[in-house]
Structure 1
Amino acid sequence: MNLVRLSPGLIFCLFFVVSHFTNKYVLSVLKFTFPTIFLGWQTSTGALLLYVTGKFGWVEINGFTRSAALLWLPGSIFFLGNIYAGSKALAILPIPFFFVIQNLSELVFFLIVRLTQREPSSWMKILSQTLMLMSAVTLIMHNLQFGPNGYIWVSIHLFCFGSYRVFQRSSKSNHLSDLEQQLINYMISTFLLVSAAHPTGDVFGALEFPFLMSYKFHSGCFASGLLGFLLLLASVKMKSGQTPLQCAIWVLMAKIMASGLSVFVFITELSPLTVYCILTNHAGEALSIYSDKIQR
């Protein structure tokens, strides 16, 4: 019985880890750094799979009006900025570093909500945000070998991610289901990425990519598109059967699992101070979740 209740969260963690590892492999190991092509493939695959499974009734997509899609357009722009900047950062930074700085999106969300909606905050919430901020800043200052690009891109990523969460919470199109929101995100992102592929030169760069005819490259790209879709379904399934706090705990566990396992899969240099920053950052995230539980 307990295993049945835990299965949605465990499945989410599995797809979360494998999806990030696959993306990291294509972007960092194979060095396929042409985001409009890679992300265009992922979003078009996600849109197609959502559309087909919705038509067959395997997932619930009731459809949406053009006006609803237009109201959701800012959310789709934040989503595109989130995945584009995230892919650029993931190609450069180790996975544990990526999650430490990504966690600052919680700080972005916290500040925007506090400034716009005047929501009160407990001392525990402020302490948790401070822990995550200080650990991330210390990690960056102690690991400057990745250059400014990785940290700039991950900063854009966390801003878009945090802004997307705020928009999702306050949008007038909140009658859209998570899958309908994601379908709009996929469709708009695919259109914009395809439109930008030629002007950015990614098309010509991809044609000259040395692994273009490699089965490893094709397998990685195919898996990235499929796993992204399965991660979406696992996330929606988990949210439908558990409270937001339980979901937040599963997301934290998934990040810790991905960070811990990544050091055995990818080359990652970790000093004692870096390990301390990573652990402190995740402790701050756990404290943030606990403060939300107390406030409720």
Structure 2
Amino acid sequence: MSPPTFLSFLNATGTLPILTYCAASILMTVTNKYVLSGYEFNMNFFLLGVQSTVCIVLLKVFKFMNLVSYREFDLALSRKWFPIAVLLVAMIYTGSKSLQYLSIPVYTIFKNLTIILIAYGEVLWFGGSVSRLTMASFLLMVFSSIIAALSDSSNASIKATSIKFDFGYLWMAFNCVSSAAFVLTMRKHIKSTNFKDFDTVYYNNLLSIPLLIIMSLMMENWSRENFERNLPEDVRNTLVIAILFSGISAFGISYTSAWCVRVTSSTTYSMVGALNKLPVAASGMIFFGDPITIGNVSGIFIGKI
């Protein structure tokens, strides 16, 4: 079988978008964790604005090189797509805040709960049903999250920062709701607008930029002192490179998310996102010193059954 035919087969079966989405998701989560928690970075909206800007710049460059095509800005389409951009901003911001307070293993385990919201949202919006086997898998996901929470609550370092711990779970709850709303709404609008993958990437990021800038100016400290604290001189170059790389990762996850939702379904997309959390959780234990406890490992294992 020739490579083009083989790639066409992977695309038709949904394997290729699933694999690329997994790779982009892992890169995005690990990079954001490094920036947000490694050096007490507190300008989340600014970081997300940089990521969206990098996505638009990459799209413009690729289009200039005739590598991609997408619909140019249209006011009517923008008005229709704007609620999705708002949900996207809510999803990525609450996700970044969750990562700031929670370890990667705990974050990834609780992220699985989004699948339940998406599955039942698909039943309400697109028809279908939830089988007994699917319901059993949902219960295992909930069980794994409970195990992870109990394990974390017994950790001495987390007891010492219980306020941060509670904030982390609050942000995680907001992230699950906003993520499910974003995926379901985007799927519905992709069908109604007949958007292609790069159309979705372009409008998602373009409409997000003004929202992120406004939120950053309103809620974040733009003083010189705060910038110096967020970007310490001794690691400034490393952090800038990491932030730019996170923008490239954001471009990858924007494209592969739209591709995955279009080729498969919202539930399949979210299930894949849950399955790829195993290597993401492992990376947190390996690279960020997240505790390797029986609760964490058991929660991850049960959540993947």
Q: What amino acid does structure 2 have at the position aligned with 1:170?
A: K
| Equivalent residues in 2 for 1:1-296, closer than 5 Å | 5=7, 8=16, 11-63=20-72, 65-116=74-125, 119-144=128-153, 145=158, 147-171=165-189, 173-204=192-223, 206-209=226-229, 211-213=231-233, 214-233=236-255, 251-283=273-305
For residues 44 and 237 of structure 2, what CA distance do their matches in structure 1 show? 20
For residues 261 and 121 of structure 2, what CA distance do their matches in structure 1 show? 24
For residues 152 and 108 of structure 2, what CA distance do their matches in structure 1 show? 15
TM-score (normalizing by structure 2): 0.81
Q: Which deviations, in whole Å up to 9, do the C-alpha atoms of 1:37-56 show, x marking residues without a partner?
A: 11111111112222332343
For residues 167 and 234 of structure 1, what CA distance do their matches in structure 2 show? 17
For residues 238 and 115 of structure 1, what CA distance do their matches in structure 2 show? 21
Q: Which deviations, in whole Å up to 9, do the C-alpha atoms of 1:224-250 show, x marking residues without a partner?
A: 11222234445567778x755986776
Pair 174,206 (structure 1): closer, same or farther in 2 beyond 3 Å: farther
Pair 24,209 (structure 1): closer, same or farther in 2 beyond 3 Å: same
Once the two structures are overlaid, the 10-residue window that deviates more, 195-204 or 70-79, is 195-204
| Equivalent residues of 1:64, 1:180 under 8 A apart | no
TM-score (normalizing by structure 1): 0.83
Pair 40,225 (structure 1): closer, same or farther in 2 beyond 3 Å: same
For residues 206 and 221 of structure 2, what CA distance do their matches in structure 1 show? 20
Once the two structures are overlaid, the 10-residue window that deviates more, 21-30 or 119-128, is 119-128
For residues 127 and 258 of structure 2, what CA distance do their matches in structure 1 show? 29
Cα-Cα RMSD: 2.9
Deviation at 1:119, TM superposition (A): 3.1
| Equivalent residues of 1:17, 1:258 under 8 A apart | yes
Q: What amino acid does structure 2 have at the position aligned with 1:67?
A: A
For residues 74 and 238 of structure 1, what CA distance do their matches in structure 2 show? 20
Once the two structures are overlaid, the 10-residue window that deviates more, 198-207 or 184-193, is 198-207
Pair 260,84 (structure 1): closer, same or farther in 2 beyond 3 Å: same
| Equivalent residues of 1:88, 1:153 under 8 A apart | yes
Once the two structures are overlaid, the 10-residue window that deviates more, 155-164 or 17-26, is 17-26
| Equivalent residues of 1:61, 1:180 under 8 A apart | yes
Q: What amino acid does structure 2 have at the position aligned with 1:275?
A: V
| Equivalent residues of 2:141, 2:303 under 8 A apart | yes
Q: What amino acid does structure 2 have at the position aligned with 1:193?
A: L
For residues 116 and 275 of structure 2, what CA distance do their matches in structure 1 show? 19
Pair 86,249 (structure 1): closer, same or farther in 2 beyond 3 Å: closer
Percent identity between the aligned chains? 21
Deviation at 1:133, TM superposition (A): 1.9
Give the 3-state SS of the residue equivalent to 1:63 in structure 2.
coil
For residues 120 and 24 of structure 2, what CA distance do their matches in structure 1 show? 30
| Equivalent residues of 2:101, 2:168 under 8 A apart | yes
Q: What amino acid does structure 1 have at the position aligned with 2:89?
A: L
For residues 200 and 247 of structure 1, what CA distance do their matches in structure 2 show? 32
| Equivalent residues of 1:42, 1:228 under 8 A apart | yes
| Equivalent residues of 1:45, 1:226 under 8 A apart | yes
For residues 289 and 150 of structure 2, what CA distance do their matches in structure 1 show? 20
Unaligned runs of 5+ in 1: 284-296
| Equivalent residues of 1:100, 1:136 under 8 A apart | yes
Q: What amino acid does structure 2 have at the position aligned with 1:178?
A: D
Deviation at 1:263, TM superposition (A): 1.1
Deviation at 1:221, TM superposition (A): 1.1
Deviation at 1:106, TM superposition (A): 0.9
Unaligned runs of 5+ in 2: 159-163
